[in-house]
Amino acid sequence: MREAYHVELDQLAQKLAAMSAQVADAMEQATQALLGADLELAERVISDDAKVDEARADCEEQAYALLALQAPVATDLRTVLAAIHAAESLERMGDLALHVAKAARRRHPDPVLPEQVRPYFSEMGKIAVRLARQAEQVIRTKDVEAARSLETDDDQVDDIHRHLFTVIMDRDWPHGVAAAVDITLLGRFYERYADHAVSVARRVVFVVTGKMPGYGTDDI
């Protein structure tokens, strides 16, 4: 019984890791669609989001079944609950990648971003995808140190996000209100995505160490 339980728990972790990979791919492609005004790629991210939603429902169902049939306690219980939370965060990351793709589609064939801010989004996109891939590794390896390293990457996203505001609010900003509004929303999507990746990693730390690292609040 206990062994069957751990096999199922391991399956659940594998599913969550796969979901992390899915949302990493989604954000990678969404960023590429955004920077390259690539409609086809944007459409792919948009249609693929249903798979992330399915994966989340699947994880949640398996977690419920584990709780109902095995009634785990202590660390085992914490692990299942962390998995439920992680699945929720990962689904949200998929939604945020979807929003980036929708922005690319909405303005197509025009590029969404003025040349001046493209490097910031290229960088935020890279870090966001790296964070999701790190979350995947943390789920697979339960490596607490690796989980902590996500915080540094998240800080970088926050720094770029904050800097973006000074760029668009500069009185010499030449690209108008519509571009500034798009940039504001897109910046927030990346920032939230990164926060959720950190939150997934924190849940793993909680499972391993029994202590929850301080809750982050998104600044702004």
Count of other CB atoms within 10 angstroms of residue 10:
10
* 178 touches a second copy (CB under 8 A): yes
**88 is an interface residue for a second copy by CB under 8 A:** yes
> Which segments of 108-175 does DSSP mark as H helices, in order?
118-141, 144-169
Residue 108: CB minimum distance to a second copy, A: 16
Q: Which one of 33-41, 61-69, 131-139, 154-162 is the stretch in contact with a second copy (CB under 8 A)?
A: 61-69
Single out the residue of 103, 84, 114 nearest to residue 189, CA to CA.
103
How many Å apart are CA 174 and CA 15, to the nearest integer?
Answer: 46
Q: Which of 19, 98, 147, 150 binds a second copy (CB under 8 A)?
A: 98
Q: Judged by CB under 8 A, which of 40, 73, 145, 211 binds a second copy?
A: 73
Dist. CA 147–CA 48, nearest whole Å: 27
For residues 23 and 132, the answer to whether their CB atoms sit within 8 Å is: yes
Binding site for a second copy (CB under 8 A): 53, 64, 67-68, 71, 73-74, 77-78, 81, 84-85, 88, 95, 98-99, 102, 165, 168-169, 173, 176-178, 180-181, 184-185, 188, 215, 217-218, 220
